[in-house]
Amino acid sequence: MTKVKRKQGYKRGYPVALLVGFENASAVLWHIFSYVVKLQITLKLGGKRTDERLLYNFHESVIEALKPMLREGVKSIVVVAPIKTTYAEDFLGHVRKHHNYLVQSSNPNRATFAKLVGSADQPAKVAQLAKTKEFRKLIAETTSGEADHIFNAFEKHLYSIGSNLVVLFSLKEIEEMVYDRERNDDSRIKCLLLTDKYLAESEDKNRIHRLLQISKNRKVKTRIVKAETTAGKRISQFGGVVFFAVPNK
């Protein structure tokens, strides 16, 4: 996770989180993968922060830039801002006021936000930030919390009578479900959860990476969770990989 520039032939790994680095007059969005951090977009404020309308539009532009990545299924967002500034809290306040659905606990598509002091406007700074224990701990907490939320939704449907839930624990059955276009319609919310231990110990990692990529293309929410987390332990009880689909209400 500490490398920023992607080397030729170097795998980026699986998506982990999104990072938004605020500065006085800009915001830089990064996509965090298990091996690399990829720059997405740089947004400019275009004026002074004291201009409320301008600041509102600036925060809206950040939300709009995040939406495509959120739709891909990554819902862990780390907001970074320099010490002795209110940039991060200003943005999170904007989210709570104007996009409350993103933080509502009852919303199955909610995002998990976390704050961190630092600077993330340049690749070298992001690489340095990613090396810190605080950053790694924060990423682990946000992704674990997100996985807990998804798994709680899974268990809620699992034990509900007549929930019309589809649950698969076999890799072969999951592949058949994901690869079959006729069974992969938009009438269901589909999730694929697996632990990092399951991926690491697999004898055919290419097979799993192909499944993850096609799942992403088919709008299946995919998460790789650390096995030692609460969500990871629960997934491990099902063999390390779980696929489920529920009606899209």
Q: What separation in angstroms does the CA of 112 have from each of 49, 104, 108, 127, 141?
A: 26, 10, 11, 22, 10
What confidence score (pLDDT) does residue 245 get? 85
β-bridge partners, 243: 168, 192
Provide the percentage of residues in the chain whose pLDDT is more than 70: 86
DSSP per residue over 187-217, as a string?
A: TEEEEEEEEHHHHHH-S-HHHHHHHHHHHHH
Quick: pLDDT tens for 7-45. 444 466 677 789 999 999 999 999 988 778 899 999 999
What pLDDT does 50 receive? 95
Left, alpha or beta for 194 (phi > 0: left; psi -120 to 50: alpha)?
A: beta
Q: Which CATH superfamily is domain 15-131 in?
A: eRF1 domain 2 (3.30.420.60)
At residue 9, the pLDDT reads: 41
pLDDT for residue 37: 86
- Please report the pLDDT score of residue 225 as a whole number: 81
The pLDDT score that the predictor gives to residue 83 is 94
Question: What is the DSSP track for 77-132?
Answer: EEEEE-TT--HHHHHHHHHHHH-GGGT-TT-TT--EEEEEES--SSHHHHHHHHTS
Cα torsion 171, 176, 180, 185 to 10°: value is -60
- Nearest CA to 5 out of 133, 118, 122, 134 is that of 122
Q: Rounded to a whole number, what is the largest CA-CA distance in the chain?
A: 57
Task: State the pTM of this model.
Answer: 0.70
Q: Which residues of the chain have pLDDT under 50?
A: 2, 5-10
CATH hierarchy code of domain 162-247: 3.30.1330.30
Q: Where in the chain is the domain with CATH 3.30.420.60?
A: 15-131
Contact 158, 165 (CB under 8 A): yes
d(CA 128, CA 181): 43
| Start-end of CATH 3.30.1330.30 domains in the chain | 162-247
Question: Cα-atom radius of gyration of the chain, to the nearest Å?
Answer: 19
Q: Is the dihedral of CA 91, 68, 186, 220 positive or negative?
A: negative
